[in-house]
Amino acid sequence: MGRAVRVASALLSGLLLVVLAACGSGAPAAPPAPPPPVRVEVQPAANATDVAPRAAVAATTEGTFSEVTLTSSAGGTVAGTLSPDRKRWTPNGPLGYGATYTWGGAATGPDGRPTPVTGSFTTLAPAETVRATLNIGDGREVGVGAPITIQFSAPVEDKAAVERALQVRTSVPTEGSWAWLPDQDGGSRVHWRPRQYWRAGTQVDVRADLLGVPFGGGAWGREDLTTSFRIGRAQIVRADVNSFRLVVERDGQQLMDVPASYGLDSDPDRTTRSGIHVVTEKFENKRMVSPQFGYDVVMGWAVRISNNGEFIHANPGSVGSQGSSNVTHGCVNLSTGDARTFFDSTLYGDPVEVTGSGVDYSERDGDIYDWAIPWDRWQAMSAL
């Protein structure tokens, strides 16, 4: 019995050694592979050319950005914004023309390994850029009849694309529309006016995001424009030519009621036009020249109400007719004292409502005839 136990024990020991030897005979296990670096994507694609300044530009990652830069060959770094989760970067505004933009920065994954943001692209270099100007500057106060006008230095072919880039915001709800008017200066122009006169005290903000907008014919917008202005008190001139008087109302209350002389109605070339004019300029002294009628004079306290030569101004020479007959060449004549009082009271954009004459105010009479156009026709003059 003792020998049998010893033999069994020896067999078990040998088997254990064989098993242990078998377990230790293989190659050591390989370490786990590191995770791949986080992916970074940029838009436009690397080496893209002729990119429009307002094309979609972004850097995105599955990880988080530690930093993103976009540098222009024209100089400077583009201002941009990272999303709250730091997974997307976008520029704050349009890029410039004809420049190469290069990405920089890095994104990291859970293991902390950085992936660089790389690549570059080039924006288009247009054959022509078109300049635009706004008629009302920042901080101005204007009258309730003031239109917003944008003048372009060259003709605009794609008016719809340009109009989509224009925006008018008002502090109170205001119905209005853009309209493209004929331009006599070799460019294009678009006006915005409310359906009715502005409400007094309205704050108006205008944006024209024109940089990077295709104007058609190979031309592009040169720069963005903005302005912020306020509508002042509601001052309206009532000018009935047959009353021989000029009445000024402010916020519904009569401010002035003074003798006046209007254009000689028997001569269509001298008639003061019936319709809504708009105050555009003021001159303490204004030289007035007419080869047609043979005069060259300087008149005081002159307020322009159209580009066809119509002013409200002082004329001491016609005082005897003021209040009783119409003898002028189309202007509204007042006494020196009344003209100065009116001059001091008026703002750019105040409407002057002329009634009772035999000739209507129209596009033949200058560049601001906006209120002479019926509302349905005005809306139809929008490119949208």
Tens digit of pLDDT for each residue in 53-102? Answer: 999 999 999 999 999 999 999 999 999 999 999 999 999 999 999 999 99
Is the confidence at residue 151, as pLDDT, over 60?
yes
The predicted-structure confidence for 330-340, as pLDDT tens digits, reads as follows 999 999 999 99
Is the confidence at residue 14, as pLDDT, over 60?
no
What CA–CA distance (Å, rounded) separates 232 from 99? 44
**Do residues 311 and 247 lie in contact, with contact meaning Cβ atoms separated by under 8 Å?**
no
Run of H or E including 3? helix 2-23
The predicted-structure confidence for 263-287, as pLDDT tens digits, reads as follows 999 999 999 999 999 999 999 999 9
Please give the angle made by the CA atoms of 377, 380 and 384, to the nearest 5 degrees: 160
Upper half-sphere CA count for residue 316 (Cβ side, 13 Å) = 6
Residues 6+ apart with CB under 8 A from 343: 282, 284, 301, 302, 303
Q: What integer pLDDT is reported at residue 74 of this predicted model?
A: 93
Q: What integer pLDDT is reported at residue 16 of this predicted model?
A: 39
**Do residues 278 and 236 lie in contact, with contact meaning Cβ atoms separated by under 8 Å?**
no
**Do residues 146 and 198 lie in contact, with contact meaning Cβ atoms separated by under 8 Å?**
yes
What CA–CA distance (Å, rounded) separates 32 from 230? 69
Q: What backbone torsions phi and psi does residue 328 show, to the nearest 5 degrees?
A: -85, 175
The predicted-structure confidence for 283-326, as pLDDT tens digits, reads as follows 999 999 988 888 899 999 999 999 999 999 999 999 999 999 99
- Section 179-200 average pLDDT: 95
**Do residues 121 and 100 lie in contact, with contact meaning Cβ atoms separated by under 8 Å?**
yes
The predicted-structure confidence for 112-137, as pLDDT tens digits, reads as follows 899 999 999 999 999 999 999 999 99
pLDDT-derived band of residue 28, with 50, 70 and 90 as boundaries? low
DSSP track, 74-121: TSSB--EEE-TTSSEEEESS---SS-EEEEEEEEE-TT--EEE---EE
Question: Both ends of the chain: CA-CA distance in Å?
Answer: 112
Q: What integer pLDDT is reported at residue 1 of this predicted model?
A: 46
Location of structure tokens 């300029």: 281
Q: What integer pLDDT is reported at residue 36 of this predicted model?
A: 82
What CA–CA distance (Å, rounded) separates 46 from 43? 8
What CA–CA distance (Å, rounded) separates 177 from 162? 14
Is the confidence at residue 21, as pLDDT, over 60?
no
pLDDT-derived band of residue 37, with 50, 70 and 90 as boundaries? confident
Is the confidence at residue 23, as pLDDT, over 60?
no
Catalytic residues: 313, 331
Q: What integer pLDDT is reported at residue 33 of this predicted model?
A: 67
28, 177, 294 from 288: Cα distances, Å: 104, 35, 11
- Section 165-175 average pLDDT: 98
Single-letter amino acid, residue 300: G
Other beta carbons within 10 angstroms of residue 378's beta carbon come to: 20
Q: What backbone torsions phi and psi does residue 5 show, to the nearest 5 degrees?
A: -65, -40
pLDDT-derived band of residue 111, with 50, 70 and 90 as boundaries? confident
Structure tokens belonging to residue 315: 């004329």
- Section 234-252 average pLDDT: 98
* Torsional class of 139: left (φ above 0), alpha (ψ -120 to 50), beta (otherwise): left
Which domains are assigned to the chain? 40-122 (2.60.40.3780), 128-232 (2.60.40.3710), 235-368 (2.40.440.10)
